[in-house]
Amino acid sequence: MKKTKQSGSCFDQTLPVKLSRRAGRHVLCRLTDKELPYYSSNGEYRHRIPKKLPSDYTRKGDGEKIKRGELHKAAPKAEPPQAGAFKLRDNPPNTLFRKLYERGDLPLQVLHSSSKNSLTWKVDIRKLDYHHYLPIFFDGIREKEEPYRFIAVKGVEDLLKAGQGKILSVIPQLIIPIKTALNTRDLAVINITLQLMCKLVESEEMVGHSLVPYYRQLLPILNIFKNNVPNMGDTIDYAQQKQICTGELVNRVLELFESHGGEDAFINIKYMVPTYESCVTG
């Protein structure tokens, strides 16, 4: 994954990014003829392995050398190439949120205090145009550099908390930013996105119903990371309060989708995530 070098200061302009770089872009797996599987003479479907040279065959007395590890190890079993479903995808710093923040078009500033940082809005947040600002802040949740990440995430939380009655009509504009953040396959970005999706569903009464038509855009990535739960054994997970377990966050989002999505939510979730079990009907 390409990394764009930045200056490290929030007061400097971000270096330009090539137009060909798109967040979450899918890279096709291109295989040559030598890498493609084939049918053997006995009708078996096999994957190609490197041919042995005459010097690679074992000779008399090599058994003891193999036991002692003096000879090369046996060639690994031929397996199909990896699909790369969990592989990180490109996440260039070209969000609209970053551009507007550096240009000074966002009516806020960071308030630094001894306990924790917060945002100070220069205007009444309830009078903001949610059709304009809420998609911009959701576009910035895939940022990983500071202060862009903190401002985008905290800005979304403040807007959802104070936007009663204004969020439902903006839902169609939030689908692409959320989908782009999930498509980066970056667990740090995915965890933040899932937490904000939970707050989005709980922000208004009918938001869960309005998200049902967009399950085909949002749930494929959740299906991939649904079982991403580390096996702790008999140890204690002291980081549980930080909500960094992707599998648990996915299950929580799916449960909120079902409980707030109405009667058609479960069948649509089950279509995209076949291993999901209902939390309502039991």
- The predicted-structure confidence for 86-127, as pLDDT tens digits, reads as follows 888 888 888 889 888 888 888 888 888 877 888 888 888 888
Domain containing residue 146: CATH number: 1.25.40
Is position 86 within any domain?
no
| Segment 22-42, tens digit of pLDDT | 888 877 777 777 767 777 777
Is position 20 within any domain?
no
pTM of the model: 0.78
| Domain that residue 250 falls in | 96-231+239-272
Distance between CA atoms of residues 188 and 142, nearest Å:
9
Query: Mean per-residue pLDDT for 207-217?
Result: 91
Are the C-beta atoms of 199 and 160 separated by less than 8 Å? yes
Is position 120 within any domain?
yes
Is position 80 within any domain?
no
| Segment 61-80, tens digit of pLDDT | 777 877 777 766 555 566 66
Is position 277 within any domain?
no
pLDDT at 264: 87
Q: Is the peptide bond before 147 cis (omega within 30 degrees of 0)?
A: yes
Query: Mean per-residue pLDDT for 153-174?
Result: 90
Give the chain's mean pLDDT. 82
Q: How many structural domains comprise the chain?
A: 1
Distance between CA atoms of residues 270 and 278, nearest Å:
9
Distance between CA atoms of residues 159 and 164, nearest Å:
9
Query: Mean per-residue pLDDT for 184-213?
Result: 91
pLDDT at 1: 47
